[in-house]
Chain A
Amino acid sequence: MTRHHVADPDKRNEAIEPSSLVAHFGADEPLALESGESLGPWSIAYQAYGALNADKSNAILLCHALTGDQHVANINPVTGKSGWWETMVGPGKPYDTDRFFIICANVLGSCLGTTGPASLDPKTGKPYALHFPVVTIRDMVNAQAKLVDRLGIDTLFCVAGGSMGGMQVLEWAASHPDRVFSAMPIATAAKHTAQNIAFHEVGRQAVMADPDWHSGRYLEEGTRPEKGLAVARMAAHITYLSEQALHRKFGRNLQERAAPTFSFDADFEVESYLRYQGRSFVERFDANSYLFLTRAMDYFDLAKEHDGVLARAFKGSKTRFCIVSFTSDWLFPTSDSRAIVHALNAAGASVSFVEIETDKGHDAFLLDVPELFETTRGFIDSAARARGLAVPMRRADA
């Protein structure tokens, strides 16, 4: 069997010594988890952009998606590529770093510096692997809340994010309503559906079926379940795109060849593309983190502890919400967003909702979609006005 080296020895291990800011919490400040377990000591790695104002009223917390990270608007230290939301975050951008103090933290259970299965278990000195406790969206949010406390911020001006990030936004608004002035859950849902759980299970089984996974102990064994994780990523990637987008990008085009090879080579461009997606993913992501984070999403059901009535999760909420969905997103379809909107209406909360017409599928929230920028700008500016923050003059104000 081929043994893969864990990582390029010259490359910094971002899971253990991240090139981000890190807030450490000692054994005396453990994180109480929803499962009943307690995690400590623990750390949370984050990036910050812009400046916090004197009364600490201009902080925006961005929540990243399943395989995202804290590197929102800077070169990613692992991939060397731009930040994942540079379209939305920066000077003069909708989340304007000239006006706001913008924070994004690596989620609990991930692998870019916040404590997760690739971190070292202080009890054994070895990576946690499957000894890491199963964490939930609420646990991720509670970890972020501890970071926000440490930064001395009482109320966040806005909490925003897409997909799993959107779940964190909803959890923030439901469990810390007084700390969230405005909220933008994008392309998300208040619960993971059976179909979503099913897709995640396929991905997890692909990872676990890889002999290099070694029951999760691959870091100790000096291997990586690259094949399994790549298959998981390939399957998941299909769910992030729409049929129209796949057709538009690839159709039935052949990959650098004139005719099919009558073999199982990647004859089609779409195959080649998916293989590339799988390969590049395994270079940047920890397989066990993928298992834990998909599990956290599966467990998410905001209405569950309110007898299935989602409106009760937002009762009395003073938060201003702006919900966004995309027409071609079949992973978190508009009906999921509408369910949130109806619940917020029923709770009497202030809510705006836009369904954006695009063929880009679930991934649209990460892409260049001008309607998303306009909606965000409008919502953020109006919330800023309501919060007494300065808003630059724009045409819409005339």
Chain B
Amino acid sequence: MSPLEMTADAAFARVDLLNLASMVEPGSRVLDVGCGDGSLLRLLAEKRSVDARGIELSQSGVNLCVAKGLSVIQGDADTDLVYYPDGSFDYVILSQTLQAMRQPRVVIEHMLRIGRRAIVSFPNFGHWKIRLQLLATGRMPVTKNLAYTWYETPNIHFCTIKDFVDLVDDMGATIEQASALDRFGRPVEMTLPRSLWNLFGEQAVFVLSGK
């Protein structure tokens, strides 16, 4: 990977985080599920003055978070969300992790139970490049953002924006806000119909609330 590409990736990651952060009301209580090295939590704590908490699977990630002064628990979202009481957070965030969950639906249900709102961002498998790759090569798509072969990917539950909206409807949850980012990290024009988001959005972010 060239330095230029790394910068572009870092910039994209930054845009994604800023986009997420902009959806959080200042001063609220936030739980970031799968918080990695704590970048989003730190951004939220610094820019939005939130009470930031996290869950992270990897010991190295937790150590980095603790060193940043964040309250982060080593744990598994698939099994540990059950221990959080109802309504204990304003927002529960799942950033770029939905596709790695063993039970995405159960995880989202817990998020809606624990938080007033759930914010879910995920890579859109309905993006035209992915569709084109599968059509043209007949193989599982491997892209810059989804750079794993099928047999070693941690991403076991991909979905498209349409699939996600169907799941939200099925759960009876409400979409409070939604946005999609194209492959340059620019927001896809909000006036476009959802089917075009599904085609041009490389990433999607949804803010949900429960029944």
Contact = CB atoms under 8 A, between A and B. Distances in A.
Contacts of A351: 71, 73
A352 B67 contact: no
B88 interface: yes
B108 interface: no
Contacts, number: 70
Nearest to A339: B83
Given A378-B68, A382-B68, A396-B68, A345 B63 contact: no
Interface in B89-118: none
A322 interface: yes
Interface residue SS majority, chain A: helix
Interface residues of B, number: 21
Contact of B74 (A353, A381, A396): A353
Most buried by B among A356, A378, A383, A386: A378
A352 B68 contact: no
Interface in A334-352: 338, 341-342, 345-346, 348, 350-352
A357 interface: yes
Given A345-B83, A345-B84, A355 B67 contact: no
Contact of B62 (A342, A354, A383, A386): A354
A354 B70 CA distance: 12
A374 B74 contact: no
Contacts of A386: 69
A377 B66 CA distance: 9
B75 interface: yes
B206 to A, nearest CB: 25
A320 interface: yes
A352 B59 contact: no
Interface in A343-387: 345-346, 348, 350-357, 371, 374-375, 377-379, 381-383, 385-386
B63 A353 contact: no
Most buried by A among B59, B70, B71, B85: B71
Contacts of B73: 341, 345, 351-353
A352 B71 contact: yes
A378 B69 contact: yes
B71 A346 contact: no
Interface in A153-197: none
B120 interface: no
B84 A352 contact: no
A351 to B, nearest CB: 6
B65 interface: yes
Contacts of B84: 345-346
B63 A382 contact: no
A352 B83 contact: no
Interface in B18-46: none
Contacts of B74: 353-355
Contacts of B88: 345-346, 348
B62 A352 contact: yes
A352 B67 CA distance: 11
Contacts of A375: 63, 66-67
Contacts of B207: none
B72 interface: yes
A374 B67 contact: yes
A371 B69 CA distance: 16
A390 to B, nearest CB: 15
Contacts of B72: 352-353
A381 B83 CA distance: 28
Contacts of B64: 396
B59 A371 contact: yes
Contacts of B75: 338, 341, 353
A29 B66 CA distance: 42
A396 B68 CA distance: 7
Contacts of B63: 354, 371, 374-375, 378
A385 B69 contact: yes
A320 B71 contact: yes
Nearest to B53: A350
Most buried by A among B53, B59, B62, B73: B73
A396 to B, nearest CB: 4
21 contacts: A338-B75, A345-B73, A345-B84, A345-B85, A346-B88, A350-B53, A350-B71, A351-B71, A352-B62, A352-B71, A352-B72, A353-B62, A353-B75, A354-B59, A371-B59, A375-B67, A378-B63, A378-B66, A378-B67, A382-B69, A383-B69
Given A348-B88, A396-B64, 5 more contacts: A354-B74, A378-B67, A382-B68, A382-B70, A385-B69
